[in-house]
Amino acid sequence: MKNKIEDLRNHLFVTIESLLDTEKPMEIGRAKAIAEVAQVMINSAKVEVDMVKALGAGNGTGFLQIEQGPPK
């Protein structure tokens, strides 16, 4: 998978930094749209985690960077 949770975090931090830019701040509507899309992605990741747990699978789609360790 090309995009990871780290990419989402980076985009959100860029959005925050842009909102705080005193010379040319991002429009509130645009920031809200970014936040809404991010929330959908986060909710999707939560479903992925639930699926991995329910199936006892060792991995998901790769969106979440999960370190594989020895079984507990």
DSSP state of 56: T
Please report whether residue 44 resides in a domain.
yes
Q: Structural domain of residue 51, as residue ranges? A: 5-55
Asked, for residue 65, whether it belongs to a domain, the answer is: no
Query: In whole angstroms, what is the distance from residue 39 CA to residue 45 CA?
Result: 10
Dihedral sign for Cα 36, 60, 46, 69, please: negative
Is position 48 within any domain? yes
Placement of tokens 């936040």 in the chain = 35
Residue 49 is predicted with a pLDDT of 83
pTM higher than 0.75 for the full model?
no
Residue 66 lies in a domain: no
* Tally of CA atoms within 13 A in the half-sphere of 44 that contains its CB: 14
Q: What is the pLDDT along the chain (72 residues), one digit of tens a residue?
A: 588 888 888 989 999 999 999 999 999 999 999 999 999 988 988 888 888 888 887 666 677 666 655 555
Residue 36 domain-assigned (yes or no): yes
Among all chains, which residue has been given the structure tokens 């949770």? 5
How many domains does the chain fold into? 1
